[in-house]
A and B are shown apart, each in its own frame.
Chain A
Amino acid sequence: MRLEPVEAPTLARRIGYPAAALAATVLVAAALAGIAGGNPLAVLGQIVDGAVGTKFARLETLNRATPLIFTGLAVAVAFRAKLWNIGAEAQLYLGAVATVLIGTQSGLPGPLVIPAMAAGAVVAGALMLLGPTLLKTKLGVDEVVTTLLLNFVVLLFVGYLLEGPMKDPMGMGWPKSPSLPKEARLPRIVEGLRLHWGFGIALICALGVWLVQAKTTLGFEMRAVGLNARAARFAGMPVNAVLAKTALISGGLAALAGFSEVAGLKGNLTADISPGFGYTGIVVAMLALLNPLGVVVSALFVAGIFVGADSMSRSAGVPSYIADILLASALLFMVLALMLSRFRVVRG
């Protein structure tokens, strides 16, 4: 078989295949629920219900979506320029470390401390990705492997900090950092509702990334480098500089996920603040077709699946890992669907 480009894909073709991908994911979910001994329809219903059925569930989904918007944006920005940042997890954790350090140690007055924490997180995450990116551009070291390996290193580093220099002396021996003072906590968007301003910042970031990509020279250069780095270089673009800037933005965005989780949700740092938000960001970004505004929608969708599966698992007894399988299948089905909407399979 071979693939033939479809010159002008019809709307049906462009929508039909992604819709089929989602339908296939639902079928996988139903099959898995059956395998685990549940009633497929009931399990699917419970996932949806657990994600959006009650006010509490909806707020929980929004809270869970917040870090995913940040990591999804980080991945979307990087992948658009074909910078394979698989290290959002590490950048998130370093952002969280910077947030706690500044929040508890700087002694800045109230209104300054939150911006300082955010800025510190961005710098930490940006530098974290700049290293592997320079190794790629200067020495040709594949950034996929280095960013992946650094995730493990950073997690161990955080573990060391939490058992050593950053350990909370009042923590009864638990490896956690001291709590942020009240003025260093992100306020809630609506008083009384468990949703903090991290979500608002995430939406602003999505809009900002969209503006950069759609309206600025840098956005154009990032796209050009992603489409064809050699052609971009031939056209006189500073490809390495573009990649470095992409890395700073991407790493900074991922670090904001750590900032938002610590300053908005948890109030302190533990080694388990991220159950893989950095990796899930890849799924979020791909489902959004790397579109920054789409990232918001897909982060809500992905968060809903996680929250819904958690709640379903408690009542129906189907393991909550079903959510991870669904997301991985959705990712694979979706990349296939996108290809099929632009190419035709021809025999011979």
Chain B
Amino acid sequence: MDITDILLSATFWAAVLRIASPLIFATMGELICERAGVLNLGIEGIMVAGAFAGWIAVYAGLPLWAGVGCAFLTGVCFGLIHGTLTVPFGLSQHVVGIGITMLASAATYFAYRVALPEVSSPPRIEAFQPTGWPILGSQTVLTWAALASVAITAWVLFRTPLGLALRAVGENPAAVEAQGLPVHGLRMGAVAVGSGLMAVGGSFLTLSAFNSFFFDMVNGRGWICIALVVFGAWMPGRALLGALLFAGFDAFQVRLQQTELGAGLPYQLFLAMPYLLSILALILMSRRAEVPGALMVPYNKGER
């Protein structure tokens, strides 16, 4: 199999969408937070928690969509903790974000061990199945939901008064305050909903990709999403493009490993590629990125 065969195969393109889906959800979540002025480094841990919450809900007998809902609510909870500490209390978004990632992952692993003390290999669940629809038939309906989340995010941010207020609160919160709108409420809401989306992204891994929960399954995807938001210049459409490009490369490297060219190289090099690529994307975009003006700047009324 050579490189053109890879790029022309249908399974390759199916894999691209499958790899991109969790990234798309979580990238939209992070984008919403950052547009409102809050960097959410809790993303990695929130994805872990979402993956677990979705899986355990379905394992306990709830329907699949209820699993997605549980994941979303779990994300909202962690988002509210993050938001409370960083928005009204104005604590360092770096420190709180790392703390939330630690808290959410540790709480997840703790809960997993409490729920299933004796299990050596995690039980599988009946996950979302491919739709079989004429277009993208090999994808599950969650992939469609991921694509829809981009359209909805873009529409809300750029076509509704709420979106205008959210973007303004990330650019110039004092002006929003002057309009009589609640700066803290808008930011809290953005962090809560954004974190919910991150958790749904995590739940894609258990409910649509691996059908089971295991430790370290998120494996840096959250950090990659942070890079994708920068790569996408805080625009939903461009971030989607970034996620697809990224997933395309990831799907390509997996297949390249099986070619003669790939067999001669250490497999760790291929596994490291996603992270190196994210760093490269950050470097390439660094000159042109339009950072929201008030990103990482807490707002305290009466302070200039």
Contacts and interface: CB of A to CB of B under 8 A. Distances in A.
Q: Do A and B come from one complex?
A: yes
Interface of A: 1-3, 32, 35-37, 84, 86, 135, 139-142, 144-146, 148-150, 152-153, 156-157, 159-160, 163-164, 279, 282-283, 286, 317, 319, 321-322, 324-325, 327-329, 331-332, 335-336, 339, 348
Contacts of B287: 139
Contact of B88 (A1, A37, A328, A332): A1
Contact of A328 (B92, B102, B269, B303): B102
Contacts of B98: 86, 279, 282
Contacts of A329: 103
A112 B50 CA distance: 52
B300 A145 contact: no
Given A86-B98, A324-B102, A156 B85 contact: no
Contact of B85 (A1, A317, A336): A336
A142 B230 contact: yes
Interface stretch (B64-72, B108-116, B193-201, B242-250): B108-116
21 contacts: A2-B303, A32-B110, A35-B114, A86-B98, A140-B286, A145-B223, A145-B226, A148-B220, A152-B275, A153-B272, A153-B275, A153-B276, A163-B266, A283-B102, A321-B110, A321-B113, A324-B102, A324-B106, A325-B110, A327-B102, A335-B92
Contacts of A140: 286, 289
Interface string B90-127: 11101110111011011101100110010000000000
A157 B272 CA distance: 8
A336 B90 contact: no
A321 B302 CA distance: 42
Contacts of B100: 328, 332
Contacts of A141: 279, 282-283, 286
Looking at chain B's contact residues, is the secondary structure mostly helix, strand, loop, or mixed?
helix
B103 A145 contact: no
B282 A332 contact: no
A332 B96 contact: yes
A297 B107 CA distance: 26
B268 interface: yes
A339 B90 contact: yes
Interface string B198-229: 00000000000000000000011001101100
Contact of B95 (A153, A156, A335): A335
Interface in B53-89: 81, 85, 88-89
Given A325-B110, A328-B102, A336 B89 contact: yes
B142 interface: no
A335 B96 contact: yes
Contacts of B266: 160, 163-164
A142 B282 contact: yes
B102 A152 contact: no
B301 interface: yes
Interface residues of B, number: 50
A319 B91 contact: no
Which 10 A/B pairs are nearest by Cβ-Cβ distance?
A324-B106, A319-B113, A328-B103, A328-B102, A160-B268, A321-B110, A156-B268, A139-B286, A2-B301, A149-B275
Contacts of B283: 135, 139, 141
Contacts of A3: 89-90, 300
A33 to B, nearest CB: 11
A37 B95 CA distance: 32
Interface centre among B91, B117, B268 (most CB of A within 10 A): B268
A346 B173 CA distance: 19
A164 to B, nearest CB: 6
Contacts of B219: 152
Contacts of A144: 41, 94
A346 to B, nearest CB: 9
A319 B109 CA distance: 9
A317 B303 CA distance: 51
Contacts of B109: 319, 321, 324
Contacts of B272: 152-153, 156-157
Nearest to A140: B286
A328 B106 contact: yes
Given A135-B283, A141-B283, A335-B99, 19 more contacts: A3-B90, A3-B300, A37-B114, A84-B94, A142-B282, A149-B278, A149-B279, A152-B223, A279-B102, A286-B95, A319-B117, A328-B103, A332-B81, A332-B85, A332-B100, A335-B91, A335-B95, A335-B96, A348-B301
Contacts of A148: 220, 223
B271 interface: yes
B106 A321 contact: yes
Contacts of B278: 145, 149
B78 to A, nearest CB: 11
Contacts of A150: 275, 279
A84 B92 CA distance: 11
A335 B82 CA distance: 12
Contact of A332 (B41, B103, B117, B276): B103
A149 B227 contact: yes
A156 B271 contact: yes
Contacts of B224: 149
A86 B289 CA distance: 22
Contacts of A331: 95, 99, 102
Contacts of B89: 3, 336, 339
A319 B114 contact: yes
A335 B220 CA distance: 25
Interface in B264-298: 266, 268-269, 271-272, 275-276, 278-279, 282-283, 286-287, 289
Nearest to B41: A144
A335 B298 CA distance: 15
A157 to B, nearest CB: 7
Contacts of B95: 282, 286, 331, 335
A37 B115 CA distance: 11
Nearest to A319: B113
